[in-house]
Structure 1
Amino acid sequence: MLQKLREKSSGLLGTIVLAILIVPLGLFGIDQYLVQGGNNTVARVQAPPAWWPDAPSWWPVSMAWQEETVSVEDFRSRFEQARQQARAQQGEAFDPREFESVDNKRKVLESLVDQRVQRLAARNGGVAVSDRLVRSTIQEIPAFQVDGRFNPERYQLALASQVPAQSPAQFQASVRESLEETLVPAGLQESSFATKSEMDRLVKLIGERRDVRMLILPPDGEEVAVPEADAKAWYDSHQADFRAPETVTLEYVEIDTSSIPAPPPADEAALRARYEEEKAKFQTPEERLASHILVEVPADADEATAKAAREKAESLAVQAREPGADFAALAQANSDDAGSKDAGGDLGWVGKDMMVAPFEEALFGMAAPGVSDAVQTEFGWHVIQLREIKAGQIEPFEQVRETLAQEQATVDRERSVNELMTQVVDQIYKNPNDLSGVASASGLKVQTIGPVSRDSDEGIMASPGVKRAAFDEVRIQDGTISDPVEIAPGHNVVIRVSAHQPEAARPFDKVRGQVEAAVRADRMEKNARKQGAALLARMRAGETLAQVAESRGLAEPDAIPGVPRGAPVPSVEVNEAMFAVDPPADEAKPTPGMYPLPDGSLVLFTVDKVVPGDASTIDDAQREMLKGQVEQVAGYEDAQAYIRGMRKRMTVTVFEENL
C-alpha cells in the first residue's frame, strides 16, 4: 500500500497537491511558533484591506488584513497615567488596591483598542494630515507658549525634559498620528447641531409639570413565617449578599500636637537676640519723593541722535536748577515718559529696588532735595528732581516685644513637635512590630479599635489615609507599624494591624434572620406589583382612584398640582414613574400608574393634566448654554457611534493573561 502511495505522489499531480498543502501548513506552523514563543500583546485589532472591505477573516485571505496591536508596555504606560489622574482627583480617598481591579484594567484597555480602531479606520479611509495643521496644532499647545505665543526655546526645552526625551521630528510624528486618528471623530463631534424646534421641545420637556393624584397603599397581608427550605434556597442563590466583609483589628497611638504641653516662655535675652537677628523686619525703609524728565533714546539710534538726547537732558537739568524754575512744567513740555508726563514727571514715593540701578544710585546718592545731573539708563537720559526725603525708622524692642514672644513660642512649639515626631519615627525603626516603644516615646497610650471593615467610619477609620494603611497587604501580612498618618492638621496616628479576617461566606445559621427578611421583602414587592397590576386594570376599566381608596378603606387620594420633573414626590423614583406614563387623552380620563416601594407599600397615582414648559421663560444666554450642552452630548454620541461602527467591521482579540 505504501508503495502505491509513493508511486501516486511521485507524479506531477501529486507534486502540485503536496505543494498546495505544505505551504499553508508550513506558514501556519511558523505563525503558531512565533505567537506562542513570546506574546507581548494585550490586544490585537485586525481590519480588512481598503481594496477589499468584505474580505473574509479565514486564512490565508487574512494575510491581507491590516493589524494594530496594544503592547504590554503601551497598556502599562496608559494604566499608570490613569492611576496618577485618579490619585490627583481622589486625593486621600484614593485606594491603590481597588484601582487595580479587572474592571479598571478593561476600561483602560478599551480606550486603547478604540484608539487602534480609529487608526486603522483613518488608514483605510485615506485620512491625511497636512504639515500646516501639525504645525498650528503644536503652536497652540500652552506648554510651548510664553505670554500666549509659541516659543521655540520653550518647545525644545519641553521635549528635551520628557522621559524619554523626544526630538521635534518624533513629536511631530506623534502629533500627526494622533490627528489622523481623531480627525473624523472630532469632525463629527464638532459638526453636531440642535435646531430651534428641538430646543423648544427640550425646554418644554424640562419645564413640564404634571397635576397628579396619589394614594399610598400599605403592605398587603401579615408577616408570615418563612419555611427553612425557602430560606435555604434564597441563601444559596444570593450568597454574595451574606458575606462577612474583610476586617482588621488595629492597635494605634494618637499624637495630637494640640495636647503637647506648651514650652516655657522665652527669656528676655533670647527675645533681644531674636530682635537683633530680625531687626530688618521691623525697619521702615527710607523713601524719596521724586519727579523726573525722560529724554528717550531709541535702541537703534545712531551716534548723532544719542548725542542730541544727552545734550537736551543736560540743558534741561541746567534749566531746572535756575531760581524759580518750574520742574513740573518742564516735564510736561519735554518728558518722553507717557506715564508721568501729564503729572509733571511725578513718580511718588520711591523706595529701594523700585527703579533701574543707575536711576536709583543717582536718586539715593543725593544728600538733599534738588535736581540731579543727566543720568543715563537703558531707557534714555533722565533729569531727576528729589523733592523730599522720608528717613527710615526702626520700631524699638519694647514696641515689638509681644510679637517676638509669640513668634518664639510658635518656633519652640514646632521644635517640640518635630522632636516628638522624630522620637516616634526612631522607635518605629527600632521595633517595627511593637507600639509600646512609640507609646513610651510620646508619653501616650496604645489604643485598639476593631474589628472594622473598609466601610467603617468609626473613630480614626473616618480618615481615608488610615483606612488605606489599615488594609495594606504588606502591613496585614507583616504586622508592621505604619508611618505617621495625618488625620487633621497637627493630629497624627500610627497604626499596626493586630488581627485580620478576610472576606468570607457567613454560615446560614448566623444570617438566617437576614435571609428571612430578604425573602419577606421579595414576597412583599412581588405582591405589591401583583396588587398594583390588578388595581391598574380596574382603573383602566373606568374605576377612579378615589373609588379604589374607598374600596380599601383609605382616605381620599392626595391632589398634588404642578409636580416638576425630578422632584422627590414622594421619591425621585416615583417621580420618574409619574413622568414615564403617557399624558391623559383628556381631563376626564386621567392616566393611571403605580410604583412599588421597598417596604412593600404601593404608590398608586393618576396623571390628571400635563402643562408643557414655556420656552419664553428662559433668556437667550440660558438657551445658548443649554444648546451648547445638547450639541456637545450629541456630538460625543455621534463620535462614539462612529467608533462602534468601525469596530464592528474589525476583529478584536484580547489576551487576558497579559493584562
Structure 2
Amino acid sequence: MLDFIRSHRRLMMIILAAFVVPGLGLVGIQGFRGMWDDSANAAKVNGDIITRQQFDAAVRDQNQRAQQMLGANYDASMFDTPASRRAILDNLIQQRLVSQQTRDLNLTASDNAVRQAIMSIPAIASLKRPDGSFDSQAYGQLLAAQGLSGPQFDEIERFQLASQQISQSIATSAFVPASLAQSLNGMITQQRDVRGLVLRAADYRAQAQPSEADIKAYYDAHHADFTTPEQAQIEYVVLSAQALSAASAPSDADIQKYYQANIKQYQTEGQVRASHILIAVPKDASAADRAKAKTHAEDVLKEVKAHPDQFAALAKKESQDPGSADKGGDLGFFDRSMMVKPFADAAFALQKGQISDLVQSDFGYHIIEVTDTKPAVTRPLADVRDAIVRTLQTQSGTDKYTADADGFGSLVYEKADSLKPAADKYGLTVRTATVTRHPAANANAADPANNPKVLAAVFSDDALKSKHNTAAIDLGNNALVSARVVNYQAATLQPFDQVRETARNKVVDQQASALARKDGAAKLDALRKAPDGVAAAGFSPVTSVTRSNPQGLSQPVLSEVFKADAAKLPAFVGVDVPDGGYAIYEITKVGSGATADPTQVTQIEAQLSQVEGQTENAAYLAALRKRASVKVYDLSGDVSQQDNSDGN
C-alpha cells in the first residue's frame, strides 16, 4: 500500500516541508502574512504562528462534536466562553510545542509502523479485498474526500506516530513500586463488619416548635423560594425548510424526471462468482523466478483445460492464495471494483462455466473459472418512488426556504406589531406559549419556545416594552423564528400570609434535623466513651462491607466507615443522612477480605503507572511551555498575554 501512496514523491516532500519549516509551512500563507501582520494571529510559539483561521477551525470542530454528542440538549452558550476558547488555544499551543520537539529531536516512524497505523483505521482496513489485495482506487477516493492525497496522509500519520513517541517514552518510563499496588489492593479488598443506628429527622418533628419570628425570618431569608418567576405569554411563527417540504407535492413528471436523471443510483452492478488458482510472484522476484512461475502456471493451466471438472481439487493443490485455496479457489460473488483491473476484466469477459487463459496481475498468474453470474439490476420506479418523493420534497423545501428567508426577516421587521402578515404570506401557523427567562427543564428542547436564543430575544427590553416582533432568529437546520410578547408578568414575591404554612414546614424540617443531629452526636459521644455498654436495640444486624461492595451503604457513609481508625475495636462514626437525620455506625471487625489476586494486583500496578506517566507527561509539557516563547493575541491583533519573553 505504501508503494501506492509513495507514487507522488514530490507531493510528499511538500507536505513534509509544511511540518518542518517554522513560521511558514506550518501555517501556510496566513502564517507567512502573520510574520508582519499580527491581526491574523491567534498565538506565536517560538516563532511559529497559530493563525486565527486555525484557531477558529478548532473552535468550530469542538462545537460540532459537542452538538453531535448532545443533540437537542446542545447549548452553544455553554461552550462559547472565554475560558473554553482559551482552553482550545492552550491545547493548540501544546500541540505546536510537541511538534517542535518532534522536529528538533529528529523523531520519525518506520514504514512498517505507518502501514500498521493506517491499516488499523476501520474505514481503510475495509478496503482489503477477499483475495488479500488492496483497493487503491477506493483508498485514493476516500482520502480525496478529506482533501488529502496518499503521500500527504502517509506523512501526517508518520509525524503523528513520531510525536507520540515523546509521551509514550515518558509513560513507559513511569515506575510504581509493586508494594504500592499490593497495599492499594489490600485497601480495596479490606472487609469491615458494621451495624448502624439511624436517627431520622421525621421522628423529631413533634419536638420542633418554631416561633412566629423564626418563620418570618426564614421567609425573609428565602424570598427566592416564595417568588413566582417572571413569565411572558408569547406568540411565534416558524419558517422552516422541513415544514415547507411537507407542504410540497412533486408531480409524476418530476418524479419520473428525477428517476431517469439518477438511474445509476438505482442500479446494482453485475456480479460474477469465480474461483481461481494463483501462482504467486513476489514483486521483487528475479526474471528467472518470474519465468519459472509462468512455466509452472502454464503447466497447471494445461491440466485444468484437460480436466476442467477437477478445478477445485487443482486449486487446493496448486493455488498459492491462502484465502481461497482451501475453498477450491472460490472467491464468492464480486463486482468489478472489488478486484484488480486485469483480474476483473478477464472474469467479466467469461461466461458461466468458462475458464480463462493465464491472467497476469501484480500478485502473479491467475487461472479463473466463472461459476455463476448475476446480471445488473435496475430497481423499478415503483420501488423507489417514496424515496424520490421525500428527496424532491426536501429539495423543494430547501429551495423555498432559501427564497423566502430574506423576505420573512424583512416582513416581521416592517410589520412589527403583528405576526399575522408573515403567517398569511408564507402559510405559517401562529403558535402560542407561556415561557420564562430560562429554558424549562421538562420541555421539548427542540421546541422554538424553549430555545435559549428565542428566550433571550423575547425577554430583551425592547421586546418587553414595545411588544414588537423579534428579529428573525436562526435556529439552524434551515429554520427561522420570530416571536412577540402578548402579555408579561414580572417576578412576584408571594405575601407572607399566603405561604406562612409552607415556610413553617421548612423551619420545622430544619429544627427536626438539628435535633436529630444533636441527639445523634450525644449518643455517638457516649458510645465512644463506653463502647461496652452498647445495646443492640435500634441497631441493624451486622453487615460485611467492602469498598467495592457497600451492601447498600451510601458513598458518604462508606467513606466514613473506611476512614475510621480500626486499631481499637469497636469503633464508631457518625454521619448526616440525606433526609436531614443522623446515623451512627459501629465497626465491630476488620478483615483482609478476599485473597489477593495476582492478576488484579498487576492491573492496579499498570493503572498506577499510567496515572504516574500522565502526571510526568503533564509536568514535561508544563516545562516545555515554561521555557518557550509564547505570545497570545487578542481579537484586535494586539498581544494580550506573553508567557515568556524568550525561549530560555
Common fold by TM > 0.5? yes
Selected match of 1:578 from 533, 536, 561: 561
Aligned position for 1:24: none
2:408 corresponds in structure 1 to 431
Say if 1:208 and 1:613, in contact at 8 Å, map to a contact too. Answer: yes
Match of 2:196 among 208, 214, 220: 214
Q: How does 1:94-493 map to 2 (within 5 A)?
A: 94-101=74-81, 104=84, 133-136=105-108, 146-147=118-119, 190-219=172-201, 220=204, 221-225=207-211, 227=213, 231=217, 235=221, 251-252=235-236, 285=270, 287=272, 302=287, 328=311, 337-338=320-321, 356-358=340-342, 361=345, 365=349, 392=375, 404-416=381-393, 418-420=395-397, 422-423=399-400, 426-432=403-409, 433=412, 436=420, 439-440=423-424, 445-454=429-438, 456-461=440-445, 467-471=451-455, 479-483=470-474
8 A Cα contact 1:369 1:385, kept in partner: yes
SS in structure 1 at match of 2:526: helix
Q: Return closer, same or farther for 1:427/1:598 CA change in 2, 3 Å cut-off.
A: same
CA distance in 1, matches of 2:336, 2:625: 68
State the 1:613 CA deviation. Answer: 2.9
Aligned partner of residue 136 in structure 1, secondary structure: coil
Counterparts of 1:186 and 1:344 in 2: how far apart (Å)?
46
Contact 1:142 1:148 in 2 (8 A): no
Q: String of CA shifts for 1:449-474, please: whole Å, max 9, x gaps.
A: 33235352243336799534435669
1:627 and 2:612 are equivalent in the alignment: no
Q: Distance in 2 between matches of 1:266 and 1:653?
A: 63
Q: Which runs of 5+ in 2 are unaligned?
A: 1-37, 122-139, 413-417, 463-468, 642-648
TM-superposed deviation, 1:224: 0.6
Question: 1:43, 1:654 within 8 Å by CA — same for their partners in 2?
Answer: yes
CA contact (8 A) 1:215 1:557 kept: yes
- Separation in 1, partners of 2:631, 2:452: 36
Unaligned runs of 5+ in 1: 1-37, 45-67, 120-127, 487-491, 550-554
| 1:532 alignment counterpart | 520
Q: 1:594 to 1:319 in 2, by over 3 A?
A: closer
What letter is aligned with 1:213?
A: R
Maintained 8 Å contact 1:244/1:506: yes
Q: 1:205 to 1:101 in 2, by over 3 A?
A: same
Distance in 2 (CA, whole Å) between partners of 1:638 and 1:227 is 59
Deviation string, structure 1 residues 515-540 (Cα, Å, up to 9, x no partner): 87776666555555444333322222
- Change in Cα spacing, 1:635 to 1:517, as seen in structure 2 (3 Å) is farther
Gap change, CA 1:310 and 1:446, over 3 Å in 2: same
Determine helix, strand or coil for the equivalent of 1:461: coil
1:252–1:448: 8 Å Cα contact kept in structure 2?
yes
Deviation at 1:624, TM superposition (A): 2.5
Tell whether the 8 Å contact from 2:176 to 2:609 is kept in structure 1 after alignment: yes
SS of equivalent residue, structure 1 residue 534: helix
Work out whether residues 139 and 145 of structure 1, in 8 Å CA contact, stay in contact via their aligned partners in 2: no
Question: Structure 2: how far apart are the matches of 1:194 and 1:112?
Answer: 31
Residue 143 of structure 1 and its aligned partner are, at CA, apart by 11
Quick one: which amino acid aligns to residue 388 of structure 2? V
**Equivalent-residue separation in structure 2 for 1:264 and 1:453 (angstroms):** 42
Q: 1:207 to 1:635 in 2, by over 3 A?
A: same
CA RMSD of aligned residues (A): 6.7
Q: How many residues align?
A: 545
SS in 1 for 2:610: helix
8 Å CA contact 1:521, 1:598 repeated in 2: no
Classify the secondary structure of the residue corresponding to 1:608.
Answer: strand
Residue 559 of structure 1: SS of its match in structure 2?
coil
Letter in 2 for 1:603: A
- Answer yes or no: is the 8 Å Cα contact 2:436–2:455 preserved in 1: no
Distance of 2:112 and 2:304 partners within structure 1: 52
Contact 1:545–1:605 (8 Å) recurs in 2: no
Report the Cα offset of residue 591 of structure 1: 1.9
- The structural deviation recorded for 1:88 is 1.6
Checking the alignment, whether the CA contact within 8 Å between 1:200 and 1:615 is kept in structure 2 is: no
Q: 1:133 to 1:641 in 2, by over 3 A?
A: closer
Which amino acid in 1 is paired with 2:389? D
TM-score of the two chains, using structure 1 as the length reference: 0.58
Q: Deviations over 1:87-115 (max 9, x none)?
A: 52454344332334465567678889999
- Contact persistence 2:194–2:589 (CA under 8 A): yes
Out of 601, 613, 621, the residue aligned to residue 593 of structure 2 is: 613
- Higher gyration radius (CA): 1
Query: Displacement of 1:626 after TM fit?
Result: 2.3
Instruction: Determine the C-alpha separation between the residues in 2 that align with 1:625 and 1:261.
Output: 60
Distance 1:175 1:312 in 2: 43
Give the counterpart letter for 1:581 in structure 2.
A
Match of 1:559 in 2: 541
Q: Which is further off, 556-565 or 131-140?
A: 131-140
1:290, 1:349 within 8 Å by CA — same for their partners in 2? no
Deviations 1:631-657 (A, max 9, x none): 23344456667999999999x999999
1:72: Cα distance to partner? 12
1:279-314 Cα deviation digits (max 9, x unpaired):
995778474756567596977655x88788778777
Partners in 2 of 1:419 and 1:499 — Cα distance?
A: 32
